[in-house]
Amino acid sequence: MKDEPLWTGALLLFPGRIAENLARVEESGLVPQAPNLVQISLGVIRMWVRLVKRPETIGTCREHHVRPTLRARLLAYRPLRFPFLLRERAIAPLDFSGLASSRERVLRHLLGAHHDANQFAYDLELLGIHPGALEELCERARRVVNGEDPHAEWLRDLVVFEGYHEDLLAAVEHALANGVRLAPHEADDPDISFTGYLRWCARMPATWGEAIGALARGEIDLGAYRHAAGMV
């Protein structure tokens, strides 16, 4: 990492943590070859483009209604929700890959930040590089669903939409029993699948010299626009 240019650190912010988690990816065998920091940097740029061009794919829901509580109705307004997500450590706004986040931060993210449809898959795959993390998530989600967690009602309102924790519990139970659920069209989608994101990154140029030229020539599809059928 000493030889990486300054802009790698500027893009990734915590390249040391990301390198540690990429080593865990290698150890887990999650993908045939983990991308390097340059390639992850391009993945971060792709996430920036998604946030700017397709914000409707983050933190919203098409399948469930907003919970009827006053708190949930207020938090449905995303700018108002943002500081509460920060306080709960349910989001890491500067970590656009998830690879700079600790195991606990990813757990809090899944329990407190809304994921639509099968967007759980990305973070469930990411948690899989931490031994025992999926089992812990299953127990914590079950406690929210059963009302045993003293913060259960707050977490339910923070994710805004009805049925979220029930869907999360079902997804993590399936992941433990059968692996993370991914439809064929989702497996290579960097928006939905962590392994899809890693494979996308691994296909990118491996050095900044190659990457800058490819970006300048418009040869890298940063996902600014998606067909309706492929959106999440």
Asked whether the predicted pLDDT for residue 141 surpasses 90, the reply is yes
With contact defined as beta carbons under 8 Å apart, do 209 and 202 qualify?
no
Residue range 23-51: average pLDDT?
90
- Of 15-19, 107-111, 223-227, which range is least confident? 223-227
End-to-end CA distance of the chain: 34
pLDDT band, very low/low/confident/very high, at 229 (cuts 50, 70, 90): very low
- The pLDDT tens digits for 196-205 are 999 999 999 9
- Residue 186 amino acid letter: E
Mapped onto helix, strand or coil, the DSSP state of residue 66 is strand
Distance CA 48, CA 13 (A): 14
Query: pLDDT for 40-80, tens place per residue?
Result: 999 998 888 877 777 666 656 667 899 999 999 999 999 99
pLDDT of 230 higher than 60: no
- At 71 the pLDDT is 97
What's the confidence (pLDDT) of residue 6?
64
Supply the DSSP string of 141-207, one letter for each residue: HHHHHTT-STTHHHHHHHT-BTTHHHHHHHHHHHHHHH-----TTTTT-TTT-HHHHHHHHHTS-SS
pLDDT at site 228: 36
119-138 per-position pLDDT tens digit: 899 999 999 999 999 999 99
Closest CA to 159 of 147, 168, 146, 150: 168
Bigger pLDDT: 222 vs 174: 174
Range 149-156 average pLDDT: 98
Q: Would you state the pLDDT for residue 225?
A: 58
Which residues, at least 6 apart from 115, have a Cβ–Cβ distance to it below 8 Å?
A: 123, 164, 168
Query: CA dihedral in degrees (17, 22, 26, 30; nearest 10)?
Result: 120
Is the per-residue pLDDT at 15 higher than 70? yes
Specify the pLDDT at position 126: 96
**Unique residue bearing structure tokens 């040391």:** 16
The pLDDT of residue 11 is above 70: yes
Q: What pLDDT is recorded for position 121? A: 95
d(CA 14, CA 9): 7
Q: Do 230 and 58 touch, CB atoms closer than 8 A?
A: no
